[in-house]
Structure 1
Amino acid sequence: LSTALDRLEATSQLQSRLSSLSFSSFPGVTAKQCDNTPPDSHCRVSLLMAAQMPPLNPPTTWTSAAVKELKVKLRTEKDSMVTVYRGDIMTVHVPTVPEANKVCWEFATDGYDIGFGIYFDWTPVTSRSITVHISESSDDEDEEEELEGPVGNGDVEKGSKTHTNSNLSEILPVYRQDSHLSVQGGSHEFPGEGTYLLKFDNSYSLWRNKTLYYRVYYSA
């Protein structure tokens, strides 16, 4: 009898918690509210944004064994050899330009792997400069140190899964890449006007800084 009462109480508490949650608590399901919502509501804005951001084609990616050659070349180029410190995420912002139709990238690291992913910001371009931004992971206290080295393709970095910018579309989620073993490269055709966000994610590492060699360029 005591066990049955405990289960009944737990079920009642769970139902109470669920009833207090709204659709807005769960990303990606806001459109469900539109069935019985006035046309001038927030849902109208959400649907408009969705219509303006079509699904993006996947990137073309490749690998090369010429790691040493790439490193030697990029050591002589300005800002192509950088340190991504432990717990940090380096984001390279690459705006689209009229003279090209795709963006290309190549990178490698010393000793250990690094997370890499690509997103596209549909906000109209106001500057044609390629810029670099460094940020710390907001989830450092919740993440555990993972063993570094060769890993499977399914190892998604926790620090780069959530994006609050509603103008962002995902091209390639952040995965740990074996960039210490082979050059990681790729390209993506412009889906329209906007800015690419190439993320080099070292937020999963509590102890190791990563030396990164990279270059980003346009192609017609």
Structure 2
Amino acid sequence: LSTALDRLEATSQLQSRLSSLSFSSFPGVTAKQCDNTCYADGWSECYLAQMPPLNPPTTWTSAAVKELKVKLRTEKDSMVTVYRGDIMTVHVPTVPEANKVCWEFATDGYDIGFGIYFDWTPVTSRSITVHISESSDDEDEEEELEGPVGNGDVEKGSKTHTNSNLSEILPVYRQDSHLSVQGGSHEFPGEGTYLLKFDNSYSLWRNKTLYYRVYYSA
């Protein structure tokens, strides 16, 4: 019993010491009022890093689908297959020689999901890399109808990102990339890595042929 009482007293003293600390005690942290919302790991929401807001991307479309496909067929790794149920993520780090990332893409026959995120983690490699992941959606779920869709049709395959360093620039939406070239650009918000997601996770049967290019602009 005495051991339990000693632990309770020590815990009470620690909580008292923590409550006396202010944000001004830590360099680089601005003091502000906050509520007592806490998370499973015990951290108050005020202690969670606040990512600065990001400007929306500049986007455009073009009817020159055939021209883009002809050009990209001759470029290495610019024509790929995104298999049914898969998500292809292109990781594009920021570079000091440029201030903007640009993209263009089109598909054969059917639409594909597309979205952009920004990872604020400091850049350790300047290589553009591609990662493929499988959808965790229930395989017994019916496939969505494919074809022309409205801008409000959010990808069923979109995932909730738990990485606290990740900010959303453009949520994943199905794009009519089989009808027109989908392009855009975004100015660097700082150092980090862009994640361009080509999402075919909603499709249970159809692979998608994707033509794309990503490049920098000053």
TM-score interval, normalised by the smaller of the two chains: 0.7 to 0.9
* Percent identity of equivalent pairs: 100
| Larger displacement relative to structure 2 (163-172 or 6-15) | 6-15
Deviations 1:144-178 (A, max 9, x none): 31111000111111322301211100000000000
Q: Segments of 4+ in structure 1 off by > 4 A?
A: 1-34
Alpha-carbon spacing, 1:132–1:34, altered in 2? closer, same or farther (3 Å): same
Alpha-carbon spacing, 1:126–1:26, altered in 2? closer, same or farther (3 Å): closer
Tell me by how many angstroms 1:27 deviates. Answer: 28
Give the unaligned 5+ runs of structure 1. Answer: 44-50
Question: 3-state DSSP class of the match of 1:153?
Answer: coil
Distance 1:68 1:140 in 2: 35
Distance 1:163 1:21 in 2: 31
Distance 1:103 1:152 in 2: 26
Number of aligned residue pairs: 210
Distance 2:164 2:98 in 1: 26
Distance 1:215 1:11 in 2: 57
Give the unaligned 5+ runs of structure 2. Answer: 38-43
Deviations 1:111-152 (A, max 9, x none): 000000000000000000000000011123474311110001
Distance 2:25 2:200 in 1: 28
Distance 1:3 1:152 in 2: 65
Question: 3-state DSSP class of the match of 1:32?
Answer: coil
Distance 2:196 2:179 in 1: 20
Alpha-carbon spacing, 1:36–1:17, altered in 2? closer, same or farther (3 Å): closer
| Larger displacement relative to structure 2 (141-150 or 197-206) | 141-150
Alignment check: 8 A CA contact 2:22 2:31 kept: no
Alpha-carbon spacing, 1:57–1:142, altered in 2? closer, same or farther (3 Å): farther
Question: 3-state DSSP class of the match of 2:151?
Answer: coil
- In the TM superposition, 1:49-88 aligns within 5 A as 52-88=50-86
Alpha-carbon spacing, 1:28–1:100, altered in 2? closer, same or farther (3 Å): closer
Deviations 1:17-55 (A, max 9, x none): 999999999999999995247xxx574xxxxxxx55111
Alpha-carbon spacing, 1:166–1:68, altered in 2? closer, same or farther (3 Å): same
Question: 3-state DSSP class of the match of 1:33?
Answer: coil
Alignment check: 8 A CA contact 2:119 2:167 kept: yes
Instruction: Name the structure where helix makes up a greater proportion of residues.
Output: 1
Tell me by how many angstroms 1:15 deviates. Answer: 30
Alignment check: 8 A CA contact 2:113 2:155 kept: yes
Normalised by the size of structure 1, how large is the TM-score? 0.78
Alpha-carbon spacing, 1:194–1:210, altered in 2? closer, same or farther (3 Å): same
Tell me by how many angstroms 1:185 deviates. Answer: 0.2
Alpha-carbon spacing, 1:195–1:12, altered in 2? closer, same or farther (3 Å): closer
Tell me by how many angstroms 1:58 deviates. Answer: 0.3
Alpha-carbon spacing, 1:162–1:28, altered in 2? closer, same or farther (3 Å): farther
Distance 1:200 1:22 in 2: 44
Deviations 1:67-121 (A, max 9, x none): 0000000000000000000000000000000000000000000000000000000
Alignment check: 8 A CA contact 2:139 2:204 kept: no
Alpha-carbon spacing, 1:80–1:25, altered in 2? closer, same or farther (3 Å): farther
In the alignment, what sits opposite 2:3?
3
Alignment check: 8 A CA contact 1:145 1:205 kept: yes
| Larger displacement relative to structure 2 (9-18 or 101-110) | 9-18
Q: Cα RMSD between the aligned structures?
A: 9.4
